[in-house]
Amino acid sequence: MSTSTITKLALAGLMTVSIAACAPRRPVEGSTGTPGPVANVPAYPGPGTGTIGGGAIGAAAPGSEQDFVVNVGDRIYFDLDSYAVSPEAYPRLDAQAAWLARYPQIAVRIEGNADERGTREYNLALGARRAESIRNYLIERGVSAARIDTISFGKERPIAVGSSEDSWARNRNGRTAIASGAQ
């Protein structure tokens, strides 16, 4: 990976974290109490998913890709050498299924990712199993299988640069990307 690409990835990550840190939280539909993080989901993305809240209310057009990323969340994280969806990921995936039910014209692509350890072939297979696990979860929650494609990027698209436990944990993820139909 070139220095320019690494720099761009680092800047994009820094901007995302900065925006998220300054944005007010909003309650999840049907919740009671004050706005804030949902269901004690950890803010750090370790093997969990991070909080579902985030973004400024009204900052994204309803049904847009930005709405999905900011107000629902597009990524869950996996344990080392695992493709099992953890209970910490359920709130995020349930929110994704509810959002997709609200916008039935939208199709998604689930992207499976792995950390840098292991062979290219192993990580591509692991990423494929992770993407398929997310797909199956969403189908079980009522999302039509025809609206969901999967792809594995293995270790080819890291979101965290480095060879540390923190970087590896962030790179073991599955991302739900809007493929078509968003506003």
> In the CATH scheme, what is the code of domain 3-180?
3.30.1330.60
Closest CA relative to residue 79, chosen from 111, 47, 49, 115 = 47
Is residue 42 within 8 Å of residue 50, measured between CB atoms? Answer: yes
- What string of pLDDT tens digits covers the 183 residues of the chain? 665 666 666 655 555 544 544 444 333 333 343 333 333 333 334 444 444 444 455 578 999 999 999 999 999 999 999 999 999 999 999 999 999 999 999 999 999 999 999 999 999 999 999 999 999 999 999 999 999 999 999 999 999 999 999 999 999 999 999 999 998
Cα separations (Å) of 21 from 15, 17, 18, 51, 91?
10, 6, 5, 12, 20
What's the rounded Cα separation, in Å, for the pair 46 and 29? Answer: 26
Q: What integer pLDDT is reported at residue 173 of this predicted model?
A: 98
Q: Which residues pair with 152 in a beta bridge?
A: 112
Q: What integer pLDDT is reported at residue 56 of this predicted model?
A: 52
Cα separations (Å) of 35 from 16, 54, 146?
21, 10, 35
Helices of type H across the chain: 3-22, 65-71, 90-102, 120-140, 165-171
Amino acid letter, 139: I
Q: What integer pLDDT is reported at residue 58 of this predicted model?
A: 53
- Order of strands, edge to edge, in the sheet holding 148-154? 75-77, 173-180, 107-113, 148-154
Q: What integer pLDDT is reported at residue 108 of this predicted model?
A: 98
Q: What integer pLDDT is reported at residue 5 of this predicted model?
A: 60
Q: What integer pLDDT is reported at residue 14 of this predicted model?
A: 54
Is residue 137 within 8 Å of residue 76, measured between CB atoms? Answer: no
Q: What integer pLDDT is reported at residue 183 of this predicted model?
A: 82
Q: What integer pLDDT is reported at residue 4 of this predicted model?
A: 60
